[in-house]
Amino acid sequence: MESESHPIAIVNCGQLVTLAGPARPRVGQQLRDLSIIDSGVMLVRNGRIETLGRHQEVKGQLTPEYEVIDAEGRAILPGFVDAHTHIVFAGTRADEYELRATGATYQQIAEAGGGIRSTVRKTRDASEGALFNAAERYSNWFLRTGTTTIEAKSGYGLSLVDEIKILRVIRRLNRTTPLECVPTFFGAHEIPDEYRGRTREYAELVAREMLPEVAEQELAEYCDVFCEPGVFDVPTSRSILTSARKLSFGLRVHADQLSQSGGAEMAAELGAATADHLEHVAERGIEALQRAGVQPVLLPASVYTLGSKRFAPARRMIEAGLGIVLATDFNPGSSPTPSIPFVLSLACTQMGMTPAEAITAATINAAWSLGRGTEIGSLEAGKRANFVIHDCRDYREIPYFAGIESAMAVFVRGEPVTAKTPCPENIGARVPQ
């Protein structure tokens, strides 16, 4: 729905971080080029960017019909695009978080019946309304940290009715909150308790019953599989993803997360949109992704939360020419954070990425990975006016000042959406004098 309110002009932007550039995922040196306009002005009409440029170039078009928002020298960025989240779940796993702090590992907890399967039990018991209320709360967390689009996976239902229930919650979130949600069916996230030891039968249920129903109800754009020995091995993952591809789903894969199993090579072979995690990817996996044009989605907050030091080899992937993406992996177990700024900090301090590379990975590259590169992810004339006024003058301060919320005013389709600063007048009130 396009907004038909009066046009707005964002003036006095210290840095208008546009990310304008080639209409494809950015690779190599391009990742460092944010196309920043100093002293910029951006005009927005009917929810879309009308024009933008230096004040001198645009001022002639700034007629009295525009409502003027003075950014007072701050940095303006596109809304972040978070290309990997598990936003719909019941309860938390704060108890397991404490257990891990005292030495238990993620895998040990999972083997003892905790982990993903414990969230599945709680999610199955929850009503659609209760799940929506929880997810709506989390969607506000995404918005207020500056994220305006997320990919949202199902995967804590693991039965036809429960997976559909979760996907319906995602659809409702997309329709009723300002956060855009791109739905992914993730029935192959884990083997449910009642199918323990019968992985093949469960995989057949996913492929023969769940996927066709999800397709029929148009509840998801993508299909994901947790490709990992002991969960879905490569042949089983391949067979589920091949069925999904026949039904026209785009493909995403949890690949090489806990071990090197060849998930990246399989994602390349199937022409997946993304291969995600990749902490254990092999060199041949990186080369296969490059040849097939698969984008890697790196999730350093899950490495951090699990207390591991093994971050995905981001520098090697950039050197290999991959269209690298960064995302939160927001979920109740391995990554309970919705904050892209926190992920940017981790990318800079733990993965050797520069602030510019990290921002490109969490905006325009993430948008391309979701098939929305022409619509969101950069500030360019004609694109959706999803942008954020950050409370800093230099974009590098977003990862640098770790642990604060730099996003001050968040706009979706040209409308302010965050409760923190609902009216532009408040922006001035917070400027340090």
Catalog residues that contact ligand NIG under the rule CB under 6 A: 86, 115-116, 119, 226, 254, 257, 302, 329, 331-334
- Residue with Cβ nearer Fe ion (168 or 277): 277
Using CB distances below 5 to 8 A depending on partner kind, what does residue 116 bind out of ligand NIG, Fe ion, none? ligand NIG
State the nearest-atom distance from the C-beta of 308 to ligand NIG, in Å.
11
State the nearest-atom distance from the C-beta of 254 to Fe ion, in Å.
6
State the nearest-atom distance from the C-beta of 305 to ligand NIG, in Å.
9
- Residue with Cβ nearer ligand NIG (297 or 324): 297
State the nearest-atom distance from the C-beta of 86 to ligand NIG, in Å.
6
DSSP symbols for 99-160: HHHTT--HHHHHHTT-THHHHHHHHHHS-HHHHHHHHHHHHHHHHHTTEEEEEEE--S--SH
Query: Is 380 among the residues that bind Fe ion (CB under 5 A)?
Result: no
- Residue with Cβ nearer ligand NIG (77 or 253): 253
* CB-nearest residue to ligand NIG: 333
Is residue 300 exposed (0-12), middle (13-18) or buried (19+ Cβ within 10 Å)?
buried
Using CB distances below 5 to 8 A depending on partner kind, what does residue 332 bind out of Fe ion, ligand NIG, none? ligand NIG
- Residue with Cβ nearer ligand NIG (255 or 410): 255
Do residues 338 and 181 touch, judged by C-beta distance below 8 A? no
- Quick one: which segment of 46-54, 289-297, 321-329, 369-377 binds Fe ion (CB under 5 A)? 321-329
Structure-derived torsion over alpha carbons of residues 411, 340, 226, 255, reported in degrees to the nearest 10: 120
Of 180, 262, 269, whose CA–CA distance to 221 is shortest?
180
By CB under 5 A, name the one of 256, 279, 329, 380 that touches Fe ion: 329
- Residue with Cβ nearer Fe ion (80 or 226): 226
- Count of residues that interact with Fe ion, criterion CB under 5 A: 1
Query: Is 151 among the residues that bind Fe ion (CB under 5 A)?
Result: no
Report the C-alpha gap between 399 and 329 in whole angstroms: 18
- Residue with Cβ nearer ligand NIG (97 or 401): 97
Using CB distances below 5 to 8 A depending on partner kind, what does residue 151 bind out of ligand NIG, Fe ion, none? none
User: In the 8-state DSSP scheme, what is residue 71?
Assistant: -
Report the C-alpha gap between 184 and 215 in whole angstroms: 11
Do residues 263 and 224 touch, judged by C-beta distance below 8 A? no
- Residue with Cβ nearer ligand NIG (190 or 380): 190
State the nearest-atom distance from the C-beta of 259 to ligand NIG, in Å.
12
State the nearest-atom distance from the C-beta of 275 to Fe ion, in Å.
12
Report the C-alpha gap between 118 and 116 in whole angstroms: 6
Six token digits for residue 362: 């969490």
State the nearest-atom distance from the C-beta of 135 to ligand NIG, in Å.
15
Six token digits for residue 378: 């950069």
- Residue with Cβ nearer ligand NIG (13 or 278): 278
Structure-derived torsion over alpha carbons of residues 372, 374, 380, 386, reported in degrees to the nearest 10: -20
Do residues 52 and 70 touch, judged by C-beta distance below 8 A? no
Do residues 297 and 274 touch, judged by C-beta distance below 8 A? yes
